A and B are shown apart, each in its own frame.
Chain A
Amino acid sequence: MNYNWNWGILFREPYLGFLITGVITTIQLALIAWVVAFVLGSVLGVMRTLPSRIASSIAAVYVEVFRGIPLLVWFFLWFFVVPELLPREWGRWLKRDLPDPEFWTAVVALGLYTACRVAEQVRAGIQAIPRGQTMAGQAGGLSQAQIYRYILLPLAYRRIVPVLTSEFMTIFKNSSLALTIGVLELTAQARQIESFTFQGFEAFTAATVLYLVITLTVTVIMRQVEARTRIPGLLGQKGG
Protein backbone atom coordinates (compact mmCIF):
# COMPACT_ATOMS: atom_id res chain seq x y z
CA MET A 1 0.00 0.00 0.00
CA ASN A 2 1.69 3.16 -1.19
CA TYR A 3 0.23 6.30 0.20
CA ASN A 4 1.82 9.66 0.89
CA TRP A 5 0.54 10.84 4.22
CA ASN A 6 0.07 14.56 4.58
CA TRP A 7 -2.01 15.50 7.58
CA GLY A 8 -0.75 19.07 7.35
CA ILE A 9 -2.99 19.59 4.32
CA LEU A 10 -6.00 19.78 6.62
CA PHE A 11 -4.63 22.82 8.41
CA ARG A 12 -3.57 24.70 5.31
CA GLU A 13 -5.72 27.18 3.38
CA PRO A 14 -7.94 26.84 1.48
CA TYR A 15 -8.64 23.34 2.83
CA LEU A 16 -9.05 24.36 6.46
CA GLY A 17 -11.60 26.93 5.30
CA PHE A 18 -13.43 24.20 3.31
CA LEU A 19 -13.84 22.12 6.46
CA ILE A 20 -14.98 25.05 8.58
CA THR A 21 -17.62 26.24 6.10
CA GLY A 22 -18.64 22.60 5.66
CA VAL A 23 -19.31 22.16 9.37
CA ILE A 24 -21.19 25.47 9.54
CA THR A 25 -23.36 24.56 6.55
CA THR A 26 -24.12 21.10 7.99
CA ILE A 27 -25.18 22.61 11.32
CA GLN A 28 -27.28 25.38 9.71
CA LEU A 29 -29.00 22.96 7.36
CA ALA A 30 -29.74 20.44 10.11
CA LEU A 31 -31.03 23.01 12.60
CA ILE A 32 -33.32 24.89 10.19
CA ALA A 33 -34.66 21.62 8.77
CA TRP A 34 -35.22 20.38 12.32
CA VAL A 35 -37.41 23.39 13.14
CA VAL A 36 -39.51 22.63 10.03
CA ALA A 37 -39.65 18.93 10.91
CA PHE A 38 -40.53 19.54 14.53
CA VAL A 39 -43.36 22.03 13.88
CA LEU A 40 -44.89 20.17 10.93
CA GLY A 41 -44.31 16.77 12.56
CA SER A 42 -46.10 17.90 15.71
CA VAL A 43 -49.09 19.18 13.71
CA LEU A 44 -49.27 15.91 11.73
CA GLY A 45 -48.82 13.80 14.86
CA VAL A 46 -51.68 15.62 16.59
CA MET A 47 -53.85 15.30 13.46
CA ARG A 48 -53.42 11.54 13.53
CA THR A 49 -54.88 11.37 17.02
CA LEU A 50 -57.87 13.67 16.35
CA PRO A 51 -61.36 12.14 16.19
CA SER A 52 -61.85 13.73 12.75
CA ARG A 53 -61.52 11.03 10.09
CA ILE A 54 -60.39 13.53 7.44
CA ALA A 55 -57.62 15.06 9.55
CA SER A 56 -56.22 11.72 10.61
CA SER A 57 -56.29 10.25 7.09
CA ILE A 58 -54.52 13.30 5.62
CA ALA A 59 -51.75 12.89 8.17
CA ALA A 60 -51.63 9.11 7.62
CA VAL A 61 -51.25 9.53 3.85
CA TYR A 62 -48.53 12.14 4.36
CA VAL A 63 -46.55 9.79 6.59
CA GLU A 64 -46.99 6.83 4.23
CA VAL A 65 -45.94 8.80 1.12
CA PHE A 66 -42.92 10.46 2.71
CA ARG A 67 -41.72 7.25 4.34
CA GLY A 68 -42.18 5.19 1.20
CA ILE A 69 -39.82 7.19 -1.02
CA PRO A 70 -36.06 7.32 -0.35
CA LEU A 71 -34.76 10.65 0.94
CA LEU A 72 -32.38 10.99 -1.99
CA VAL A 73 -35.30 10.69 -4.42
CA TRP A 74 -37.05 13.43 -2.43
CA PHE A 75 -34.04 15.68 -2.93
CA PHE A 76 -34.30 15.14 -6.70
CA LEU A 77 -38.07 15.63 -6.68
CA TRP A 78 -37.81 18.96 -4.86
CA PHE A 79 -34.86 20.14 -6.90
CA PHE A 80 -35.63 18.97 -10.44
CA VAL A 81 -39.35 18.22 -10.55
CA VAL A 82 -41.25 20.66 -8.34
CA PRO A 83 -40.00 23.88 -10.05
CA GLU A 84 -41.24 22.48 -13.39
CA LEU A 85 -44.68 21.62 -12.06
CA LEU A 86 -45.33 25.00 -10.47
CA PRO A 87 -46.68 27.96 -12.47
CA ARG A 88 -43.93 29.32 -14.69
CA GLU A 89 -43.19 32.48 -12.67
CA TRP A 90 -42.89 30.55 -9.40
CA GLY A 91 -40.55 28.03 -11.00
CA ARG A 92 -38.38 30.84 -12.38
CA TRP A 93 -38.28 32.50 -8.98
CA LEU A 94 -37.19 29.24 -7.36
CA LYS A 95 -34.44 28.65 -9.89
CA ARG A 96 -33.17 32.20 -10.49
CA ASP A 97 -34.18 34.73 -7.86
CA LEU A 98 -34.13 32.74 -4.65
CA PRO A 99 -30.70 33.24 -3.08
CA ASP A 100 -28.86 29.96 -2.51
CA PRO A 101 -31.61 27.74 -4.04
CA GLU A 102 -29.70 24.49 -3.32
CA PHE A 103 -29.54 25.20 0.40
CA TRP A 104 -33.23 26.08 0.74
CA THR A 105 -34.30 23.14 -1.39
CA ALA A 106 -32.28 20.92 0.93
CA VAL A 107 -34.00 22.50 3.97
CA VAL A 108 -37.41 21.73 2.46
CA ALA A 109 -36.48 18.18 1.40
CA LEU A 110 -34.90 17.30 4.73
CA GLY A 111 -37.49 19.10 6.86
CA LEU A 112 -40.59 17.65 5.20
CA TYR A 113 -39.08 14.14 5.17
CA THR A 114 -38.08 14.24 8.83
CA ALA A 115 -41.53 15.65 9.71
CA CYS A 116 -43.09 12.26 8.89
CA ARG A 117 -40.76 10.55 11.35
CA VAL A 118 -41.42 13.16 14.05
CA ALA A 119 -45.17 12.80 13.40
CA GLU A 120 -45.03 9.06 14.13
CA GLN A 121 -43.20 9.70 17.41
CA VAL A 122 -45.62 12.45 18.50
CA ARG A 123 -48.59 10.21 17.66
CA ALA A 124 -47.08 7.34 19.65
CA GLY A 125 -46.37 9.70 22.53
CA ILE A 126 -49.96 10.96 22.63
CA GLN A 127 -51.45 7.48 22.27
CA ALA A 128 -49.33 6.18 25.14
CA ILE A 129 -51.05 8.56 27.58
CA PRO A 130 -53.75 6.80 29.63
CA ARG A 131 -57.32 7.67 28.56
CA GLY A 132 -58.10 8.93 32.07
CA GLN A 133 -56.04 12.06 31.46
CA THR A 134 -58.23 13.13 28.54
CA MET A 135 -61.42 12.20 30.40
CA ALA A 136 -60.33 14.17 33.44
CA GLY A 137 -59.71 17.16 31.19
CA GLN A 138 -63.17 16.81 29.63
CA ALA A 139 -64.80 16.43 33.01
CA GLY A 140 -63.00 19.57 34.16
CA GLY A 141 -64.59 21.47 31.29
CA LEU A 142 -61.55 21.94 29.06
CA SER A 143 -62.05 22.28 25.31
CA GLN A 144 -60.29 19.80 23.02
CA ALA A 145 -57.64 22.39 22.11
CA GLN A 146 -57.03 23.04 25.79
CA ILE A 147 -56.74 19.31 26.51
CA TYR A 148 -54.00 19.04 23.88
CA ARG A 149 -52.29 22.24 24.96
CA TYR A 150 -52.27 21.69 28.70
CA ILE A 151 -52.47 17.93 29.19
CA LEU A 152 -51.62 15.71 26.21
CA LEU A 153 -48.79 17.56 24.48
CA PRO A 154 -46.72 18.39 27.58
CA LEU A 155 -46.89 14.72 28.65
CA ALA A 156 -46.28 13.38 25.15
CA TYR A 157 -43.23 15.56 24.45
CA ARG A 158 -41.66 14.64 27.76
CA ARG A 159 -42.20 10.96 27.04
CA ILE A 160 -40.65 11.06 23.57
CA VAL A 161 -37.55 13.16 24.26
CA PRO A 162 -35.25 10.09 23.97
CA VAL A 163 -36.61 9.06 20.54
CA LEU A 164 -36.60 12.65 19.33
CA THR A 165 -32.93 12.77 20.32
CA SER A 166 -32.14 10.01 17.87
CA GLU A 167 -34.22 11.70 15.13
CA PHE A 168 -32.32 14.91 15.85
CA MET A 169 -29.01 13.11 15.35
CA THR A 170 -30.30 11.46 12.19
CA ILE A 171 -31.06 14.84 10.64
CA PHE A 172 -27.37 15.84 10.97
CA LYS A 173 -26.35 12.63 9.22
CA ASN A 174 -29.07 12.89 6.59
CA SER A 175 -28.05 16.46 5.77
CA SER A 176 -25.06 14.91 3.94
CA LEU A 177 -27.44 13.94 1.12
CA ALA A 178 -27.64 17.62 0.22
CA LEU A 179 -24.28 17.21 -1.52
CA THR A 180 -26.11 15.51 -4.41
CA ILE A 181 -27.82 18.78 -5.33
CA GLY A 182 -24.67 20.85 -4.84
CA VAL A 183 -24.80 22.03 -1.24
CA LEU A 184 -21.24 22.25 0.06
CA GLU A 185 -21.78 20.72 3.47
CA LEU A 186 -19.20 18.73 5.42
CA THR A 187 -19.13 15.52 3.36
CA ALA A 188 -19.07 17.49 0.10
CA GLN A 189 -16.14 19.57 1.34
CA ALA A 190 -14.23 16.44 2.37
CA ARG A 191 -14.77 15.00 -1.09
CA GLN A 192 -13.70 18.29 -2.64
CA ILE A 193 -10.45 18.20 -0.67
CA GLU A 194 -9.93 14.61 -1.84
CA SER A 195 -10.36 15.48 -5.48
CA PHE A 196 -8.12 18.57 -5.27
CA THR A 197 -5.27 16.99 -3.31
CA PHE A 198 -5.72 13.17 -3.56
CA GLN A 199 -5.41 13.06 0.25
CA GLY A 200 -8.63 11.07 0.69
CA PHE A 201 -7.63 9.46 3.98
CA GLU A 202 -6.95 12.76 5.66
CA ALA A 203 -10.04 14.46 4.24
CA PHE A 204 -12.47 11.65 5.18
CA THR A 205 -10.82 11.23 8.59
CA ALA A 206 -11.36 14.92 9.26
CA ALA A 207 -15.02 14.65 8.22
CA THR A 208 -15.53 11.50 10.32
CA VAL A 209 -14.01 13.12 13.40
CA LEU A 210 -16.12 16.25 12.90
CA TYR A 211 -19.33 14.18 12.60
CA LEU A 212 -18.37 12.30 15.77
CA VAL A 213 -17.85 15.62 17.55
CA ILE A 214 -21.27 16.85 16.36
CA THR A 215 -22.94 13.60 17.49
CA LEU A 216 -21.19 13.72 20.86
CA THR A 217 -22.17 17.35 21.41
CA VAL A 218 -25.80 16.58 20.58
CA THR A 219 -25.71 13.58 22.94
CA VAL A 220 -24.37 15.66 25.82
CA ILE A 221 -26.92 18.45 25.28
CA MET A 222 -29.82 16.02 24.91
CA ARG A 223 -28.81 14.15 28.08
CA GLN A 224 -29.36 17.42 29.93
CA VAL A 225 -32.70 17.93 28.22
CA GLU A 226 -33.71 14.35 28.99
CA ALA A 227 -32.76 14.72 32.64
CA ARG A 228 -34.77 17.92 33.00
CA THR A 229 -37.88 16.75 31.18
CA ARG A 230 -38.07 13.25 32.65
CA ILE A 231 -41.47 12.31 34.00
CA PRO A 232 -40.89 10.97 37.53
CA GLY A 233 -42.12 7.50 38.29
CA LEU A 234 -42.13 5.97 34.78
CA LEU A 235 -40.50 2.59 34.20
CA GLY A 236 -37.33 2.41 32.16
CA GLN A 237 -35.91 5.58 33.63
CA LYS A 238 -33.00 5.55 35.99
CA GLY A 239 -33.60 7.42 39.21
CA GLY A 240 -37.02 8.82 38.54
Chain B
Amino acid sequence: MTEFDWTAVTNNLPFLMQGLFLTFQLTILAMVGGILLGTVLAILRLSAPAPVPQLIAGYVNGLRAMPLILVIFWFYLLVPLALGRPVGAFPSALIAFTLFEAAYYSEIIRAGIQGVARGQLQAALASGLSYAQAMRYIVLPQAFRAMLPILLTQSIILFQDTSLVYVVGLRDFLTAANIVASRDQRPVEMYLFIAAVYLVLCAGGSFAVRRLQRRLAR
Protein backbone atom coordinates (compact mmCIF):
# COMPACT_ATOMS: atom_id res chain seq x y z
CA MET B 1 0.00 0.00 0.00
CA THR B 2 1.27 3.45 -0.83
CA GLU B 3 0.55 6.59 1.16
CA PHE B 4 -1.91 8.89 -0.55
CA ASP B 5 -0.63 12.29 -1.62
CA TRP B 6 -3.34 14.46 -3.10
CA THR B 7 -1.13 17.47 -3.87
CA ALA B 8 -0.68 16.19 -7.43
CA VAL B 9 -4.43 16.65 -7.84
CA THR B 10 -4.76 20.00 -6.08
CA ASN B 11 -1.71 21.53 -7.77
CA ASN B 12 -3.00 20.62 -11.21
CA LEU B 13 -6.63 21.49 -10.69
CA PRO B 14 -6.73 24.29 -13.31
CA PHE B 15 -5.21 22.01 -15.95
CA LEU B 16 -7.70 19.24 -15.08
CA MET B 17 -10.60 21.70 -15.21
CA GLN B 18 -9.55 22.75 -18.70
CA GLY B 19 -9.80 19.09 -19.64
CA LEU B 20 -13.24 18.80 -18.05
CA PHE B 21 -14.31 21.92 -19.96
CA LEU B 22 -13.24 20.30 -23.24
CA THR B 23 -15.16 17.15 -22.28
CA PHE B 24 -18.32 19.23 -21.74
CA GLN B 25 -17.76 21.20 -24.95
CA LEU B 26 -17.41 18.04 -27.01
CA THR B 27 -20.41 16.42 -25.30
CA ILE B 28 -22.74 19.36 -25.87
CA LEU B 29 -21.71 20.03 -29.48
CA ALA B 30 -21.92 16.34 -30.42
CA MET B 31 -25.26 16.05 -28.60
CA VAL B 32 -26.83 18.99 -30.46
CA GLY B 33 -25.36 17.87 -33.80
CA GLY B 34 -26.25 14.22 -33.16
CA ILE B 35 -29.87 14.96 -32.20
CA LEU B 36 -30.40 17.29 -35.20
CA LEU B 37 -28.89 14.82 -37.66
CA GLY B 38 -30.59 11.92 -35.88
CA THR B 39 -34.00 13.62 -36.27
CA VAL B 40 -33.44 14.16 -39.99
CA LEU B 41 -32.32 10.54 -40.42
CA ALA B 42 -35.31 9.23 -38.46
CA ILE B 43 -37.85 11.27 -40.46
CA LEU B 44 -36.27 10.33 -43.78
CA ARG B 45 -36.16 6.68 -42.79
CA LEU B 46 -39.86 6.74 -41.94
CA SER B 47 -41.16 8.76 -44.89
CA ALA B 48 -38.69 9.15 -47.78
CA PRO B 49 -39.15 7.19 -51.05
CA ALA B 50 -37.53 3.86 -51.78
CA PRO B 51 -33.75 3.80 -51.71
CA VAL B 52 -33.36 6.41 -48.95
CA PRO B 53 -34.69 4.42 -45.94
CA GLN B 54 -32.54 1.43 -46.91
CA LEU B 55 -29.44 3.61 -47.23
CA ILE B 56 -30.10 5.17 -43.84
CA ALA B 57 -30.69 1.75 -42.28
CA GLY B 58 -27.32 0.68 -43.69
CA TYR B 59 -25.65 3.76 -42.24
CA VAL B 60 -27.23 3.31 -38.81
CA ASN B 61 -26.64 -0.44 -38.55
CA GLY B 62 -23.13 -0.16 -39.97
CA LEU B 63 -22.05 2.43 -37.42
CA ARG B 64 -23.75 0.54 -34.60
CA ALA B 65 -21.72 -2.55 -35.51
CA MET B 66 -18.42 -0.66 -35.20
CA PRO B 67 -16.48 0.12 -32.04
CA LEU B 68 -16.40 3.86 -31.32
CA ILE B 69 -12.59 3.82 -31.06
CA LEU B 70 -12.34 2.59 -34.65
CA VAL B 71 -14.73 5.35 -35.80
CA ILE B 72 -12.55 7.92 -34.03
CA PHE B 73 -9.44 6.54 -35.77
CA TRP B 74 -11.25 6.59 -39.13
CA PHE B 75 -12.14 10.26 -38.88
CA TYR B 76 -8.75 11.19 -37.49
CA LEU B 77 -7.38 9.72 -40.72
CA LEU B 78 -10.13 10.85 -43.11
CA VAL B 79 -10.91 14.45 -42.14
CA PRO B 80 -7.43 15.85 -42.89
CA LEU B 81 -7.27 13.86 -46.14
CA ALA B 82 -10.70 15.07 -47.23
CA LEU B 83 -9.88 18.69 -46.44
CA GLY B 84 -6.41 18.42 -47.91
CA ARG B 85 -4.80 20.05 -44.88
CA PRO B 86 -4.07 19.05 -41.31
CA VAL B 87 -6.77 19.91 -38.78
CA GLY B 88 -6.57 19.50 -35.03
CA ALA B 89 -7.84 16.44 -33.20
CA PHE B 90 -10.90 18.39 -31.97
CA PRO B 91 -12.70 18.89 -35.32
CA SER B 92 -12.16 15.30 -36.40
CA ALA B 93 -13.28 13.97 -33.00
CA LEU B 94 -16.36 16.23 -33.08
CA ILE B 95 -17.32 14.99 -36.55
CA ALA B 96 -16.76 11.37 -35.49
CA PHE B 97 -18.91 11.74 -32.35
CA THR B 98 -21.69 13.65 -34.16
CA LEU B 99 -22.00 11.08 -36.94
CA PHE B 100 -21.65 8.13 -34.56
CA GLU B 101 -24.15 9.41 -31.99
CA ALA B 102 -26.59 10.42 -34.75
CA ALA B 103 -26.95 6.70 -35.53
CA TYR B 104 -27.95 5.97 -31.92
CA TYR B 105 -30.12 9.09 -31.48
CA SER B 106 -31.95 8.37 -34.76
CA GLU B 107 -33.04 4.95 -33.46
CA ILE B 108 -34.40 6.54 -30.28
CA ILE B 109 -36.16 9.29 -32.23
CA ARG B 110 -37.61 6.84 -34.76
CA ALA B 111 -39.12 4.82 -31.92
CA GLY B 112 -40.42 8.08 -30.40
CA ILE B 113 -42.11 9.14 -33.65
CA GLN B 114 -43.61 5.68 -34.09
CA GLY B 115 -44.98 5.94 -30.57
CA VAL B 116 -47.18 8.91 -31.47
CA ALA B 117 -50.76 7.83 -32.20
CA ARG B 118 -51.46 7.54 -35.93
CA GLY B 119 -54.60 9.64 -35.63
CA GLN B 120 -52.48 12.68 -34.68
CA LEU B 121 -50.73 12.74 -38.05
CA GLN B 122 -53.93 11.95 -39.94
CA ALA B 123 -55.83 14.73 -38.17
CA ALA B 124 -53.02 17.20 -38.88
CA LEU B 125 -52.93 16.28 -42.58
CA ALA B 126 -56.74 16.35 -42.80
CA SER B 127 -56.84 19.87 -41.39
CA GLY B 128 -54.61 21.03 -44.23
CA LEU B 129 -51.12 21.03 -42.76
CA SER B 130 -48.32 19.89 -45.04
CA TYR B 131 -46.36 16.78 -44.02
CA ALA B 132 -43.45 18.97 -42.85
CA GLN B 133 -45.80 21.16 -40.80
CA ALA B 134 -47.51 18.14 -39.29
CA MET B 135 -44.13 16.76 -38.25
CA ARG B 136 -42.89 20.11 -36.95
CA TYR B 137 -45.97 21.19 -34.98
CA ILE B 138 -47.83 17.99 -34.12
CA VAL B 139 -45.73 14.83 -34.19
CA LEU B 140 -42.22 15.89 -33.13
CA PRO B 141 -43.24 17.90 -30.03
CA GLN B 142 -45.15 14.90 -28.68
CA ALA B 143 -42.41 12.46 -29.67
CA PHE B 144 -39.64 14.53 -28.06
CA ARG B 145 -41.58 14.94 -24.85
CA ALA B 146 -42.01 11.19 -24.56
CA MET B 147 -38.42 10.32 -25.41
CA LEU B 148 -36.67 13.13 -23.54
CA PRO B 149 -35.49 10.83 -20.70
CA ILE B 150 -34.00 8.29 -23.13
CA LEU B 151 -32.31 11.06 -25.14
CA LEU B 152 -30.79 12.43 -21.94
CA THR B 153 -29.64 8.98 -20.82
CA GLN B 154 -27.98 8.53 -24.21
CA SER B 155 -26.30 11.91 -23.68
CA ILE B 156 -24.87 10.74 -20.35
CA ILE B 157 -23.43 7.76 -22.23
CA LEU B 158 -22.03 10.21 -24.80
CA PHE B 159 -20.46 12.21 -21.96
CA GLN B 160 -18.69 9.05 -20.80
CA ASP B 161 -17.76 8.03 -24.34
CA THR B 162 -15.96 11.31 -25.02
CA SER B 163 -13.19 9.93 -22.78
CA LEU B 164 -12.18 7.81 -25.78
CA VAL B 165 -10.64 10.87 -27.47
CA TYR B 166 -7.69 9.81 -25.32
CA VAL B 167 -6.64 7.57 -28.22
CA VAL B 168 -6.01 10.57 -30.49
CA GLY B 169 -4.39 12.61 -27.74
CA LEU B 170 -7.09 15.26 -27.44
CA ARG B 171 -6.84 16.82 -23.97
CA ASP B 172 -10.15 15.98 -22.41
CA PHE B 173 -10.61 15.32 -18.69
CA LEU B 174 -9.17 11.79 -18.80
CA THR B 175 -6.24 12.69 -21.05
CA ALA B 176 -5.36 15.68 -18.85
CA ALA B 177 -5.35 13.36 -15.83
CA ASN B 178 -3.23 10.87 -17.74
CA ILE B 179 -0.67 13.56 -18.60
CA VAL B 180 -0.39 14.69 -14.98
CA ALA B 181 -0.35 11.09 -13.70
CA SER B 182 2.65 10.12 -15.80
CA ARG B 183 4.51 13.40 -15.22
CA ASP B 184 4.08 13.52 -11.43
CA GLN B 185 4.13 9.73 -10.95
CA ARG B 186 0.85 9.79 -8.99
CA PRO B 187 -1.48 7.60 -11.07
CA VAL B 188 -3.39 6.27 -8.03
CA GLU B 189 -4.62 9.63 -6.73
CA MET B 190 -5.16 11.01 -10.23
CA TYR B 191 -7.35 8.19 -11.54
CA LEU B 192 -9.28 7.86 -8.28
CA PHE B 193 -10.00 11.59 -8.42
CA ILE B 194 -11.32 11.61 -11.98
CA ALA B 195 -13.29 8.40 -11.37
CA ALA B 196 -14.99 10.15 -8.43
CA VAL B 197 -15.75 13.25 -10.51
CA TYR B 198 -17.21 11.16 -13.35
CA LEU B 199 -19.26 9.14 -10.85
CA VAL B 200 -20.73 12.22 -9.16
CA LEU B 201 -21.59 13.87 -12.48
CA CYS B 202 -23.07 10.75 -14.09
CA ALA B 203 -24.94 9.46 -11.03
CA GLY B 204 -26.29 12.99 -10.47
CA GLY B 205 -27.30 13.18 -14.12
CA SER B 206 -29.12 9.87 -14.13
CA PHE B 207 -30.84 10.72 -10.83
CA ALA B 208 -32.12 13.94 -12.45
CA VAL B 209 -33.28 11.98 -15.50
CA ARG B 210 -35.21 9.53 -13.30
CA ARG B 211 -36.96 12.42 -11.54
CA LEU B 212 -37.83 13.99 -14.87
CA GLN B 213 -39.19 10.66 -16.05
CA ARG B 214 -41.49 10.44 -13.02
CA ARG B 215 -42.71 13.99 -13.59
CA LEU B 216 -43.40 13.34 -17.27
CA ALA B 217 -45.23 10.12 -16.42
CA ARG B 218 -47.71 11.92 -14.19
Interface status of A64 (Cβ within 8 A of chain B)? yes
Interface status of A98 (Cβ within 8 A of chain B)? no
Contact with A along B190-206 (1 / 0, CB 8 A): 01101100111011001
Could you say which of B77, B191, B198 has the most chain A C-beta atoms within 10 Å of its C-beta?
B191
**How many chain-A residues does the 8 Å CB contact rule pick out?**
42
In the complex the two chains form, is B69's CB within 8 Å of A68's CB?
no
Interface status of B10 (Cβ within 8 A of chain A)? no
Residue of B nearest to A72 (CB): B163
In the complex the two chains form, is A70's CB within 8 Å of B188's CB?
no
Contact with B along A49-80 (1 / 0, CB 8 A): 00000000000000011011111110011001
In the complex the two chains form, is A85's CB within 8 Å of B188's CB?
yes
The verdict on A71 contacting B70 (CB below 8 Å), with A81-B187, A84-B2, A85-B1 known, is no
Determine which of B73, B174, B188 lies in contact with A187 in the assembled complex, contact meaning CB atoms within 8 Å. B73
In the complex the two chains form, is B81's CB within 8 Å of A180's CB?
no
The verdict on A201 contacting B164 (CB below 8 Å), with A68-B199, A211-B67 known, is no
Distance, CA A179 to CA B166, complexed state (A): 11
Is the interface on chain B under 10, 10 to 19, 20 to 34, or 35 or more residues?
A: 35 or more
Interface status of B49 (Cβ within 8 A of chain A)? no
Determine which of A77, A84, A212 lies in contact with B195 in the assembled complex, contact meaning CB atoms within 8 Å. A77
Interface status of B161 (Cβ within 8 A of chain A)? yes
In the complex the two chains form, is A211's CB within 8 Å of B70's CB?
yes
Determine which of A1, A204, A215 lies in contact with B82 in the assembled complex, contact meaning CB atoms within 8 Å. A1
Distance, CA A201 to CA B62, complexed state (A): 17
Distance, CA A208 to CA B66, complexed state (A): 7
Give me 6 other A-B pairs in contact (C-beta within 8 A), A69-B195, A69-B199, A173-B65 excluded. Answer: A68-B198, A68-B200, A70-B161, A73-B195, A81-B188, A175-B67
Q: Could you name 6 residue pairs across A and B whose Cβ atoms are closer than 8 Å?
A: A73-B194, A76-B187, A176-B69, A187-B73, A211-B67, A212-B66
